[in-house]
Amino acid sequence: MHLPHPWPVLKGLLVTLLLSNAVYAIDLDISDEQSIKDAASTSAYAMMTYYKGNETGHIPGAFASKWWEGAALFLALLQYWHFTGDTTYNDNLRVGLEWQAGDDDYMPTNYSSYIGNDDQMFWGLAAMTAAELKFADATDVGDNYSWLSLAQGVFNSQIKRWDSTTCDGGLRWQIWTYESGYTMKNSISNGGLFQLAARLARYTETDTYANWAEKIWDWSVSSPLLSNSTWNVADSTETTNDCATQGNDQWSYNYGTYLMGAAYMYNYTNGSSVWLEAVDGLLNKTFEHFLNDDILEEKLCEPTEVCNDNEILFKGLVSSWLSFTALLVPSTYDTILPVLQTSGQAAAKSCTGHDNNTCGVRWYKSAYDGWIGMEEEISATNIFVANMIAFDTSAPVTSSTGGNSTSDPTAGENDTSTSTTESAITTGDKAGAGILTVVFVSSWVGLMTWTILGG
């Protein structure tokens, strides 16, 4: 879920604040491995200029007003390191992923009172990715939680919040009754938990996680969120009417998270036709909804230039999930790779801003569009790195194929962040996601102007 951008074309207004014209571009040869690595290096460097967690007075892994985006940043860095071999940012990765761990469940004290299930889930996916890509467990940071145990901690804390008091099940968007999205059950929270359960099942070879993945999938199909006939994925549904209706906004990451989970279940079940049907159905619908001339596009906000920071990240996440799907379900590889390649080439052409390869949002324009920010650079890094599957087709590891992250099936059991009393929700509240990411236009433009002009 996500908050709508209150000021359309806000980032576009920054163009008037910038003095230089576009000169440089990322010169990407999509058929050349080193060229892709160089492109990813350029955008990864740009995105890390926004990260202050390694500086005195700042908190590792944290962005105060958009906590979940730390997970999005680290997901991109993990895959960047894995596919390029560049260890430049590994210390930041290791420290940040541990610093935000909370009590082995990604419910850190500084943020746990207002984060949503989707926010916590993304950190769980980052930890799961670290385990699957064999990023060495930390031994010198904080309480030294293993990546696998952190993913298990998120899973254990979230299934305790599974709510059968309304809609016969499902995970609420937000955790606490005072949060505006408490009465909503949404696709990114339930699809994200489904994906995490499927990945844990495959990595640990444990049916308990697989059973939960099937339970979450079956509930999603029985609800208005997911159709296994049309493969439509709605954004949300309401507990106030027992999930009788749907908020049917179409966002790419809702499709992507269910697709990724289905791909893991296909692989875990050694090629079940049920899960192959789900993969094919969701993949076809994803491409039907979110491609513009075979280039990934967030159709609901990009054409009108109203994407907020959360929404800019969506297709970057989907790029990564598509690449993993191609590796886990080989029959999809030849369908997915061309889309990653055309999107990667277009994204590179968008990285021509401000004489420093600043990347834009609307890749399909194949030119810089005036937008600027960390989220743009994260998504560009994601699509560049996703194209590395043309040269490295090894699937994410499991505990029996090289994974060595330490398991703790009881991680997160001490979590008490469950709530059962509903609070009222207003029409204005329903627009929601990420979490508390509204930024006043004056302060945002002021900050960005100061940053860009070197204040």
* Residues 105-130: tens digit of each pLDDT: 999 998 989 899 999 999 999 999 99
Q: Are 281 and 289 in contact (CB under 8 A)?
A: no
Burial, 117: exposed, middle or buried (Cβ in 10 Å; 0-12, 13-18, 19+)? buried
User: Cα–Cα distance between 186 and 167 in angstroms, integer?
Assistant: 12
Question: How many other β-carbons are positioned within 10 Å of the β-carbon of residue 259?
Answer: 29
Residue 420 scores a pLDDT above 60: no
Residue 134: count other Cβ atoms within 10 Å of its Cβ.
15
Share of the chain above pLDDT 90, in %: 80
Could you name the CATH architecture of 11-50+64-396+419-452? Answer: Alpha/alpha barrel (1.50)
3-state secondary structure of 353: strand
Question: Are the CB atoms for 256 and 272 separated by under 8 Å?
Answer: no
How do residues 280-327 score in pLDDT, each as one tens digit? 999 999 999 999 999 999 999 999 999 999 999 999 999 999 999 999
Going by pLDDT thresholds of 50, 70 and 90, the confidence category of residue 1 is low
User: How many other CB atoms are found less than 10 A from the CB of residue 333?
Assistant: 16
Instruction: Name the pLDDT band for 141 (thresholds 50, 70, 90).
Output: low
Distances (CA, A) of 127 to 154, 155, 371: 10, 11, 30
Q: Give tens-digit pLDDT for 422-443.
A: 433 333 333 333 433 333 333 3
What are the b/e assignments for 172-193, b being 16+ CB within 10 Å?
bbbbbeebbbbbbbbbbbbbbb
What was the pLDDT predicted at 149? 98
**How confident is the model over 191-205, as pLDDT tens digits?**
999 999 999 999 999
| CA–CA distance, 316 with 374 (Å, rounded to integer) | 12
What is the spatial distance between Cα 128 and Cα 116, in angstroms, rounded to a whole number?
19
Extract the tokens encoding 14.
């920054």
- The confidence band for 414, taking pLDDT boundaries of 50, 70 and 90, is confident
Selection from 257, 242, 247 nearest residue 422 by Cα: 242
- Among 332, 374, 113, 325, CA closest to 199: 325
Token pair belonging to 331: 């029959």
Residue in 453, 448, 432, 440 with CA at minimum distance from that of residue 187: 432
* Mean pLDDT of the residues in the chain: 89
Is residue 150 pLDDT above 60, yes or no? yes
Query: Higher pLDDT residue, 256 or 13?
Result: 256
CB 380 within 8 A of CB 45: no
> For the chain, what's the residue count?
455
Does the pTM exceed 0.85?
yes
Query: 5, 3, 126: which is closest to 71 by C-alpha?
Result: 126
Enclosing H/E stretch for 296:
strand 295-296
Q: What is the average pLDDT across 231-241?
A: 98
- Percent of the residues in the chain that have a pLDDT greater than 70, as a whole number: 85
